[in-house]
Structure 1
Amino acid sequence: MSPNTQQELASLSSTPLHGVTLALDKTTNNTNTPFTLDVSFNPVTPLSNPKTAWTLTDKGERYESNITLNREDDCYQLHIDCEGQGTFQLQGNQLTIDWQANGTGPAHYLQTLGLSLFLELQGHLCLHANTLVKNNQAQLFLAPSRTGKSTLTTLLTTLGYTLTTDDMAALYHTNEQYEVYPSWPKVRLWPDSAAMLENHLTTQPVQQKKVHERFAKQEISFAAQDTHTAAPVTAMYYLNRVDEQPQSGNPLTITPINPSAALIILMQNSMLGDAYRGLGIEQSRIMALAALLQRVPFYRVTYPSGLDQLPDIAKHLDERLQSEQAK
């Protein structure tokens, strides 16, 4: 790992992540988060007798990702081969990062896949979701990759919402409710989405930079929050973008999802794909997802494709969300 990349990650780690303090040295302040991970940057030796818990190859027009999760006893190695390449080794509360100097740094993969592995092993559901908070109420937005989830939720920050997690939300079940802690204030967007948002993100301080010279995505950073506090989850929404244009004047519909379909959607939009059986937590996790659906309503939001329509979609969605919260 290059010194600049390590320094950037150390700077980011001064802020807790998904309810986890990342302790890079003994001077790290205890922020009273639920968990602390001791983090080091060292070479990782391949496991002597590994069992493969999960493999994933994800290809799109503009990227290819290959992920492998191996385990041996209580030691786990998560290998990433995307625009960034490296390994996260997790053993107890010890996280070792071994990352190649060229390519995207480990920060994005740490705050999504790396933390998901740690938190799922602690019994916390991690969903492929963005979190928006308004009036101290968190709402999760789930969708498959490449369907505009980050673009739409970033647009909603112009309407009084705070985007507290991008790509992953870790759920904490406390006092008969579910809560989500913030991740780092960053969102990654394709250039066409980033260009469209430049005309709308005018009321809040943001920074924009290219993720890497060989990678087209742009990274937008928002102002960090003052405190690392969890917000209660009041609803979940599955974003269903369709090619058909609406027949009526309303550009979107919001409908409840029946429990059996909702459970399948949550399983399909879990961060670690098919890894849970290999981790030995599949059955308990299905029960936890079912319990979540007993407490938190889950809706399908259907809206037409097209970047040019998203600002109008965001306004209509905000109106519907506010009316639902008022009930």
Structure 2
Amino acid sequence: MAEQVLYGVPVRTGFELFAAASAMAGFTEQAPLQLRELPAQQPLPTLPETFSLYHAHNRDLSLQSDRALAHSVAGQSWRMDVNDVVSFHWRGGDNLVHYQCHALGTQERLVFWFVHIFLPLYLTLERGHDFLHAAAVEVASRPVLFVAPSTGGKSTLADYFLQQGHPLLSDDKVATVMHGGQYYAVPSHPHHRPWREYEVLGDRVQNFATRARPIHAVYLLEQGEPDAEIAITEVTGFRKFEELIPNYLYSFRFLQEQRMRWLAQLADSIPVYRVHRPWNLERMDAVYRALRDHAAGVGEGCASGPLRGQTGSSGPE
């Protein structure tokens, strides 16, 4: 049985999900998750409570349970459906997940939906992970997060950092975990998708982060005119919380209170900066240098105030 670490959790499958990256460390003592196929002749349960998740990658997603949607309890039956492609079923408190492919199900699509969508949902419901819609890279071995709406340029910026030799931590969904009083960013999977195509994990990444580390800083990306000045300013107070809320994934109503408390604590403990940058690929290097140097100075007494313009030497630190 193959085993890979995804979002800090060992995942065991009957086939290799993708070519393994450098050995990645699990986060603390996470119990392994097993993924097994359910034979076609064995029907999946139809559950009475249905919740429409959202429309993604040209597919409708839904979540079902055998009771009103609330905190997962031991033995609770759950099912997630990707229309015409695949269904996943598990029971609360169990580390075994069954899947069953449908008419349009292929192994490539199974891997995509399991890794990119199902696992974050499962880990949110069952293991207390929290996910931000962000891209993340390492600067001097410290995770920095880029937050922006879809098509807001976070993956393009992360790709440029990757080209300059910085390890990628996550392309789209950043798993965060509290440990020892600090908020950690956990590596996702070694793929990067600076372009948009349905139901594919993306290009294979060799320089991928191998362990969870405390989050160093969060950068909120804003678009400017092509000739705009680069400006990095700190976000303070309640505005940090307000800026991060829209980028929180899987904010189910029954999780809302504890998730808002978690997000408020994260915002209170991690520096957040607004980045006004030119919407101009020809100036990407200047944006990269400004962000790289700013991130290197966070916590060193020189990055709390506004930064404007562009800065010096190239290459990761």
- Per the normalisation by structure 1, the TM-score is 0.73
Q: Give the structure 2 partner of residue 231 of structure 1.
A: 213
Q: Give the structure 2 partner of residue 309 of structure 1.
A: 283
Task: Measure the CA separation in 1 of the matches of 2:7 and 2:269.
Answer: 21
Q: CA deviation at 1:77?
A: 2.0
Q: Give the structure 1 partner of residue 234 of structure 2.
A: 256
Contact in 2 for aligned 1:53/1:70 (Cα 8 Å): yes
Root-mean-square deviation (CA, aligned residues, Å) is 3.1
Q: Deviations over 1:36-74 (max 9, x none)?
A: 21111225845434323343135xxxx634222222242
**Alignment of 1:34 onto 2:30:** yes
Q: Structure 1 residues 177 and 306, CA, compared in 2 at 3 Å: closer, same or farther?
A: same
SS in 2 for 1:115: helix
How many percent identity over aligned positions?
22
Q: Give the structure 2 partner of residue 176 of structure 1.
A: 181
Q: Give the structure 1 partner of residue 20 of structure 2.
A: none
Q: Which moved more, 1:107-116 or 1:96-105?
A: 96-105
Q: Give the structure 1 partner of residue 50 of structure 2.
A: 52
Task: Measure the CA separation in 1 of the matches of 2:32 and 2:285.
Answer: 39
Q: CA deviation at 1:258?
A: 3.8
Q: Deviations over 1:286-308 (max 9, x none)?
A: 11111111211122212122333
Contact in 2 for aligned 1:39/1:94 (Cα 8 Å): yes
Q: Give the structure 2 partner of residue 87 of structure 1.
A: 87
Contact in 1 for aligned 2:11/2:35 (Cα 8 Å): yes
Q: Give the structure 1 partner of residue 140 of structure 2.
A: 135
Q: Give the structure 2 partner of residue 71 of structure 1.
A: 65
Q: Structure 1 residues 119 and 143, CA, compared in 2 at 3 Å: closer, same or farther?
A: same
Q: Deviations over 1:211-253 (max 9, x none)?
A: 6xxx59782211165x8421111111122224x2455xxx322
Task: Measure the CA separation in 2 of the matches of 1:218 and 1:282.
Answer: 29
Q: CA deviation at 1:160?
A: 3.9
SS in 1 for 2:266: helix
Contact in 2 for aligned 1:235/1:297 (Cα 8 Å): yes
Matches within 5 A, 1:152-231: 152-190=157-195, 215=198, 219-223=202-206, 228-231=210-213
Q: Give the structure 2 partner of residue 105 of structure 1.
A: 109
Contact in 1 for aligned 2:88/2:99 (Cα 8 Å): yes
Q: Deviations over 1:69-120 (max 9, x none)?
A: 2222422222234xx9322223232222223435952333333321222221
Task: Measure the CA separation in 2 of the matches of 1:298 and 1:56.
Answer: 28
Task: Measure the CA separation in 2 of the matches of 1:70 and 1:18.
Answer: 23
Q: Which runs of 5+ in 1 are unaligned?
A: 1-9, 192-210
Q: Structure 1 residues 224 and 302, CA, compared in 2 at 3 Å: closer, same or farther?
A: closer
Task: Measure the CA separation in 1 of the matches of 2:230 and 2:114.
Answer: 34
The letter of the residue matching 2:89 is Q
Contact in 2 for aligned 1:133/1:231 (Cα 8 Å): no
SS in 1 for 2:115: helix
Q: Which moved more, 1:280-289 or 1:37-46?
A: 37-46
Q: Structure 1 residues 252 and 66, CA, compared in 2 at 3 Å: closer, same or farther?
A: farther
**Alignment of 1:18 onto 2:1:** no
Task: Measure the CA separation in 2 of the matches of 1:97 and 1:291.
Answer: 36
The letter of the residue matching 1:175 is G
SS in 2 for 1:189: coil
Q: Which moved more, 1:152-161 or 1:290-299?
A: 152-161
Contact in 2 for aligned 1:235/1:298 (Cα 8 Å): yes
The total of aligned residue pairs comes to 277
Q: Structure 1 residues 229 and 55, CA, compared in 2 at 3 Å: closer, same or farther?
A: closer
Q: Deviations over 1:225-284 (max 9, x none)?
A: 5x8421111111122224x2455xxx3222223443332333311222x5x11xx21111
Q: Which has the higher helix share?
A: 1
Q: Which runs of 5+ in 2 are unaligned?
A: 15-22, 68-75, 302-317
Contact in 2 for aligned 1:19/1:33 (Cα 8 Å): no
Q: Give the structure 2 partner of residue 3 of structure 1.
A: none
